[in-house]
Amino acid sequence: MKNYPHPIIAREGWPFLAIALILAISATIWCAAWSIPVWIIALFVLQFFRDPPREISQAVGAVLSPADGRVIKVERAQDPYGQREAILISVFMNVFNVHSNRSPVDGKIEQVQYFPGKFVNADLDKASLENERNAIVLRTADAQTVTFVQVAGLIARRILCYVKAGDVLTRGQRYGFIRFGSRVDVYLPVDADVKVSIGDKVSATTTILAMLPQNG
């Protein structure tokens, strides 16, 4: 199954792309040779805001990666948003990754919590609790709690979230965007079966991070 609710270029990128193209065209008219760096910047903006369609696994209990990037943490931790012991999987996104954020599971949102904060390197451990972040606590149909947190980074200065408490999400559904490099933390039940390791490269909706335990 594919989920493709938006154009190939994320809607968040159109203003930036329009400005970059206007500058590049103006520079070309003024001096073609000097316009090359401006066109390179425009191409960077184009690749940063790409939002391609993705295959979505329908495996029962699958927790999909909410973002493209690299796994930087897999450990037992306290979920400060869901108030429970959990398994934490962190995915770090660099500026060359797709930055659309997608729901890792099906379920109903119980809480959306926004926290202003710092903008330290999102690769650091302290970023999870000190940086600007937006947490979604979701309950699945079989009463499993999954928390996923958008975390701003050193360059990222804007977290965008388009959902609220009470909304129902389906796996792979696009729910937000983080501009210019960041990370997403996923808190799972302690008995989840983790399928990734530190250092693994993952793709949003395509990679299965873990399998949730099946009740009954």
* Options 57, 128, 182, 197, the catalytic residue: 182
pLDDT digits (tens, 9 = 90+) for 64-105: 999 999 999 999 999 999 999 999 999 998 877 887 899 999
CATH code for the domain in which residue 71 is found = 2.70.70.10
* Residue 43 belongs to some domain of the structure: yes
Whether residues 189 and 139 fall in one domain: yes
pLDDT digits (tens, 9 = 90+) for 116-154: 765 555 455 555 566 688 999 999 998 899 999 998 866
pTM as predicted: 0.81
Residue 22 has pLDDT above 90, yes or no: no
**Is 182 one of the annotated active-site residues of the chain?**
yes
Q: Provide the residue range defining the domain that includes 194.
A: 61-211
Residue 2 has pLDDT above 60, yes or no: no
- 2-25: buried (b, 16+ CB within 10 Å) or exposed (e) per residue? ebeeeeebbebbeebbeebeeebe
pLDDT value of residue 177: 85
Identify the weakest region by mean pLDDT among 2-16, 59-73, 186-200: 2-16
What sections of the chain are H helices per DSSP?
A: 14-30, 36-48, 127-130
Whether residues 66 and 39 fall in one domain: no
* Residue 55 belongs to some domain of the structure: no
